[in-house]
Amino acid sequence: MGYKVVVAGATGNVGREMLNILAERQFPADEVVALASRRSLGTEVSYGDKTLKTKDIEGFDFTGYDIALFAIGSDATKIYAPIAASQGCVVIDNSSLYRYDPEIPLIVPEVNPDAIEDYRNKMIIANPNCSTAQMVVALKPLHDRARIKRVVVSTYQSVSGAGKEGIDELWDQTKGMYVPGQEVAPKKFQKQIAFNVIPQIDVFLDSGDTKEEWKMAAETKKIMDTSIKVTATCVRVPVFVGHSESINVEFEDFLDEDEARDILREAPGVLVVDKREPGGYVTPVECVGDFATFVSRIRQDVTVENGLNLWCVSDNLRKGAALNTVQIAELLGNRVLKKG
């Protein structure tokens, strides 16, 4: 007997990818139901070679469903996740609502799989921010070898990280640049995103950091090690899918760049593409649709005692959201629920 699975937010960027990945990875589901808001009632979404008709989440009875994969934003999650949990269905949530709740596990299966046991606290498991997920996959094996003290990261984040509206705004604004009278003013983003970059993701905090930058630091501590210091600058770039990160790491112990490359070649979820020649690295367009977190440009930072630089690229809708969510569901199934 397999699982009864709910995908909430099935009409969104992340929801559609969750359905694709459940099918691609042959998740042992007996039944998959697609939910979204009433606006999408009856909208057809693909699940492998099947087509599902989307149902309204309002009034949906989660009783008898094992796992609900949520990608509906914090406001709607606040309403529906407690309902699903109280009806005995384990929620794996993509929003930021529960990530910093000490009772709720925040999981990247390659990094902290043992945290899965804490799902029992509230029947809810949180999925991290997209930029955090790929970074910790790349950093964990290096931390295990040489203990990371400090991370300085600059991100180059695609517009799909801002949902369907983000993708539409880049597309429409780009087209509008060439058609007089059809210019599109910024709405989803703070400034023009076509042919531009914007050093703001999420709101500003009193510290001067943005919330996205704060999230990268707080989530890395919760998932990997509270002693790691992270300072981030998060930037939106005119790329549809795929987040890139320039990561500078300072370790307690010396770690040679060749050893780091060898460690990363063996690391789960990581693919090293690192040739010191033109094009010998991965760019976001090449990572789209892939499961891996790609690491390139691994090199010593000789300006500090034990430093390394690396370039990290991943499909934000996959490892940054949908893939990680399905991997958590697999972990929950294999370690705890044991059906299928």
Tell me which residues touch ligand NAP (CB under 6 A). 9-15, 36-37, 39-40, 57, 71-73, 76, 94-95, 130, 160-161, 163-164, 316-317, 320-321
Residue among 267, 316, 330, 325 at smallest CA distance from 134: 316
130 is catalytic: yes
Residue 243 near residue 284, CB atoms below 8 Å: yes
Structure tokens at 142: 């290096």
Residue 265 near residue 259, CB atoms below 8 Å: no
Catalytic residue, chosen from 130, 234, 287, 312, is 130
Residue among 91, 118, 114 at smallest CA distance from 105: 118
Lookup result for tokens 């090449």 = 286
Closest to ligand NAP by CB, 282 vs 308, is 282
Catalytic residue, chosen from 89, 143, 243, 287, is 243
User: What dihedral angle (degrees, nearest 10) is formed by the CA atoms of 240, 15, 28, 97?
Assistant: 110
Min CB(276)–ligand NAP separation in Å: 31
Min CB(37)–ligand NAP separation in Å: 3
Residue numbers belonging to the annotated binding site for phosphate: 99
Min CB(336)–ligand NAP separation in Å: 23
The residue nearest ligand NAP at its CB is 12
What one-character-per-residue DSSP string does 45-83 give? EEETTEEEE-EESTT---TT--EEEE-SHHHHHHHHHHH
Residue numbers belonging to the annotated binding site for substrate: 157, 236
Dihedrals φ, ψ of 187, to 5°? -135, -60
Min CB(137)–ligand NAP separation in Å: 14
243 is catalytic: yes
Closest to ligand NAP by CB, 140 vs 318, is 318
Closest to ligand NAP by CB, 57 vs 223, is 57
Closest to ligand NAP by CB, 170 vs 264, is 170
- Catalytic residue ranges: 130, 243
